[in-house]
Chain A
Amino acid sequence: MKKLLSLLALLLAFTLAAAACGGSDDDTAADDAAEDTSEEAAEAEEEEAMEEEAEEAMEEEGDEEVALETQGGDLTFHMITHSDDGPFWSVVKNGFDAACAAHGVNCVWMPGNNDPGQMVTDIETAIGEGSAGIAASLPSPDQLIGPLQDAVGAGIPVYTLNSGLNDYQTIGATTHIGQSEDVAGQGAGNRFNDLGATKVLCGRQEQSNVGLEERCGGLAETFGGEVVDEFVGLDADQTEQINGIKAILEADPDIDAFLGVGPVIAMSGLQAAQDLGRDLTIGGFDMTPELLDAIEAGDIAFTVDQQQYLQGYLPVVLMFLEATNANQAGGGQPVLTGPGFVTPDNAAAVKALSAAGTR
């Protein structure tokens, strides 16, 4: 009995551990935000110490005069993100590098690898180096708002990108460059209206992921017909996911469209429809080579693309114009990079661009 109890205790402990670090490889801002909140507690203490340091540093430096520059060569921009070297962020970096080269400015790419502590240090470094503009992503706002406000206080133009839609105004950032999950879902809803769908199954690959729920919620706002919003199984068990979708499709013969809010689940929806011999209008989110192939072949109608290249490119343009021409884009509103759509019409082109690292 004792042995059994200790085994059970271990099981429980492991389950909790697995749940805590069961992150996704999805590269959307909301996913990362959800993932990082679990790390917050652990990081909090460290953060406090660092924030104090940051404040001290601030006091030492004091306010800095910002003069307009007319030549780009002296400008240095910093992009500080929770980038993880994955295929998603490598496209952002390519956009960033291209924009810097085009404008002839100095650029520093600071990947945080999902470590908010690292990002705080990077922000302090950027302030210390007298940055002409900081573009940052906000996966865990609580820890990053303070340091970024310091940057604003130091007279450095701040932009948020990818994640931070809800907090860029608190920081005092000029604008946010990214995609709102809501708007992306709304875009998908309009697509389905155009394609003549009447009842859409919005399949989620995770439970209690705010970003994914917002995608389905946005769909329900604009779609003219009925929306069935369900969790259908994890990406880690695609067999169960496919069959979960099949079960719902079979139980409800009126469903004539499927939106998978990730690239893998979109392919699962296609497989389920093919198994059942049902002709569904299928939409997806984000991109994988397989998904692009399926779109090119006409099996999948579209995928929602948040065009992250823009999230790397646009901040540099806006920071450059703010530094050289005192422009402030956005008018207090965010600048949306998506939803862009990949459809059978442009799939081949997107595939080539994707191979080149810009889509």
Chain B
Amino acid sequence: MADTDSAETGTETESARNTSPQNGESGAAEAATEASETASTPANAADERIAFRGVFARMLVRPEIGAAIAATAVWIFFWSVSGVFGLAGGTASVLDVASTLGIMAVAVAMLMIGGEFDLSAGAATGALGIVTLMFVRDITGEMGGAGLSLWIALPLSLAVALGLGWFNGTMVNRSGLPSFIVTLASFFILKGAKLGFAKLIVDQIQVGKMDDLEIFAADRGGDKGYGFFQPIFAAEWDRTDHVWESRDFLYTVACLVGLTLLVLALYEMRFARKDKMNPAGLAVTLAGIAAGIGGVLYLHGTDGTSANAIGAAIIGAGMLIGFFGLAMWRYQPLSDKGSFSVSPGWLAPFGAGLGALALAVLAARSLDAQNSENVTFLVTEQGLRAILFVGLAGAGAVLLLMASHRAGIGSQLTRSIVLLCTAGLVVAIAFFIRSESASPKFRTEVFSIMLAIAALMAVWAIVTLFFAERRYPDAPADRLGRLLIAGGTLMFIIGVGTRLLYTVPAEIEAGISPAKFSVRTLWFLLFAGVCTWVLGRSKFGSWVFAVGGNKEASRQIGVPAARTKVQLFMLVSFAAWLVGTLLAFRLNTIQASTGDGEEFEYIIAAVVGGTALTGGYGSTLGAAIGAIIMAMAAQGIPSARWNSDWRFVFLGGILLLAVIANNFIRSRAEATR
């Protein structure tokens, strides 16, 4: 999506850049009177299709970004209210639940983009696992089973799976009935057939056992491929086996570099580039970086509280000098800063934000952090305190940012002042958390992250006051920005991944329970990656969007609509086969009820991830993130020890909020297109 944008705007770049010198003045003058986000340069004002979009709108353009932000919010929420949620063990559990759910959600999302549903997808996972097990079982002491080698059984059950998908797709095409009703029939048939055949052949309501292949290998002349396939489908990786002392160093560096790259992307996409760079700025930047590094070293060398404050101040000053120098080097100065003005437009959210923060502090002060008794029928006092504080403080921060955005509509000076106030409040809350909280998670980690965020906000407030916003398309700058975003995200993934996959001796001594990562997660990532590539880059992917948008129209322009739909159904049943196989190797035994009713979880995950119920719109990456959100909710609720009777109330609430957030962010991002 993003790439087609840049292709479109690319041709306009040159003319836009030619007009940029005068834009500096006229644009700023205009900004005083109208909304800055939609202001356009004289060059392209005539064509609203390439109307200029604000920097955040450009950064948030992909359909899955809303899901990603919602996922982050859910993660932060559970991380703050639960002791074990963010640890490696908790993360392994979340990924474990997300893997099987996510593989199906990605396939179902593709089918939904293609305009169809498959209600038999859930029951099919269990059914195909049972089919595989029936093929490999033999008659040693028990009834039933074909006794085939896995080398034959797996392709055979895959053929059954593809046949099932072909059947669903063909029935939908031929009958012209909604796929909802056709696959509902398939669902009931599969549900009944699982139980019926399990009882008929095995005389049980479950079919086992996969690891019999290994246990009875000697009697049966070899393990029939079990030794080969077991690691492929069920390998597990124990984190405690991998100790790396300097893990946290890499983690910190990767996260810092990632954050820096993201901030650089923000700068590059926001400010107007100079025609001629100013080398003096580069020198200032280097000085700032040096100061920052000096501050870090100083902080590491000392222990005292006052020395900590000095170190933090040096780092903050280094950041300011560094980013200011960078802007001096690359970007045009802002001539008209506007004058400070008070308007109800920003005062209202500002006041509301202050109120929310005050309530958060009040809640934290008045409730007992040590009390794990149930205060209400829902949660413990401890839990209530955490939920209230996190919720209110989060809402306060959002309101304050909204206030600074609105203030900036009138003048840059007002925006910067409001933003500086917000940064100050963030610092105050950070110190409050440090003084109130008992756990090191809040006293050090949350505290330093909040200080860093406040520093970035303050620097942003100052730099935006002195340098001009770009109000015209600049494809090379946007491309560089996107590259930096990709790089920054990659660094975060490396940092977090390292921290999850490796352990340090101190953690083992502390008796933190071991985390087991499974090969299922890799299957999930692989499947999501391949589907995302197919959907975004291949002809088949374009066909999927086309048939989902309008089947008749797509057929008339030469898309093989019927075939595409059948292939999508076959993709879903392939995914069900994969999940069934993963479950068979993991659990060794499959219950007849396995997967029944799960099809709604797949659809929900796809919708949470931004896929439309009506077809023609959506994202496989979003569906994968949606699956992770659902897994986080499913794991976070017991982790936080909330009353399980109310589990589905919480789950529903979290999903509703996630979908609303996703939808809001996406519509904001697309409003200016």
Contacts and interface: CB of A to CB of B under 8 A. Distances in A.
Interface in A1-57: 3-4, 7-8, 10-11, 14-15, 18, 22, 24-25
Given A243-B635, A248-B638, A275-B516, A237 B93 contact: no
A308 to B, nearest CB: 15
Q: Which of A207, A246, A276, A277 has the most CB of B within 10 A?
A: A246
Contact of A247 (B90, B203, B595): B90
A251 B87 CA distance: 11
Contacts of B640: 251
Interface stretch (B17-25, B131-139, B584-592): B584-592
B644 interface: yes
B644 A239 contact: no
Interface in A231-252: 231-240, 242-244, 246-248, 250-252
B199 A264 contact: no
A276 B88 CA distance: 12
Contact of B593 (A25, A242, A275): A25
Contacts of A278: 513
Contact of B644 (A3, A232, A252, A355): A232
B639 A231 contact: no
A345 interface: no
Given A25-B195, A86-B205, A207-B645, A251 B82 contact: yes
A46 B286 CA distance: 88
Contacts of A142: none
Given A7-B613, A22-B597, A236-B595, A288 B638 contact: no
A230 B90 CA distance: 18
Contact of A236 (B208, B513, B594, B638): B594
B209 A18 contact: no
A247 B597 contact: no
B89 A276 contact: yes
Contacts of B513: 250, 276-278
Nearest to A252: B641
A25 B514 contact: no
Contacts of B639: 247-248, 250-251
Contacts of B514: 276-277
Contacts of A271: 587
Interface string B585-627: 0111101111111101101000000000110000000000000
Interface in B103-141: 119, 126, 141
A23 B607 CA distance: 28
B630 to A, nearest CB: 10
Contacts of B203: 87
B644 A236 contact: no
B237 interface: no
B257 interface: no
Contact of B587 (A25, A238, A248): A238
A271 B597 CA distance: 23
A243 B595 contact: no
Contact of A4 (B93, B589, B600, B614): B614
A230 B589 contact: no
Contacts of B195: 25
B184 A239 contact: no
Interface of A: 3-4, 7-8, 10-11, 14-15, 18, 22, 24-25, 85-87, 207, 230-240, 242-244, 246-248, 250-252, 264, 267, 271, 275-278, 288-290, 355
Given A207-B645, A250-B87, 7 more contacts: A14-B119, A14-B180, A86-B199, A236-B598, A251-B84, A252-B641, A278-B513
30 contacts: A11-B600, A14-B119, A25-B592, A87-B203, A87-B204, A87-B205, A234-B597, A235-B593, A236-B126, A237-B601, A238-B587, A238-B591, A239-B96, A239-B97, A239-B586, A240-B634, A247-B84, A247-B90, A247-B93, A248-B638, A248-B641, A250-B84, A250-B89, A250-B513, A251-B638, A251-B641, A277-B513, A290-B209, A290-B588, A290-B589
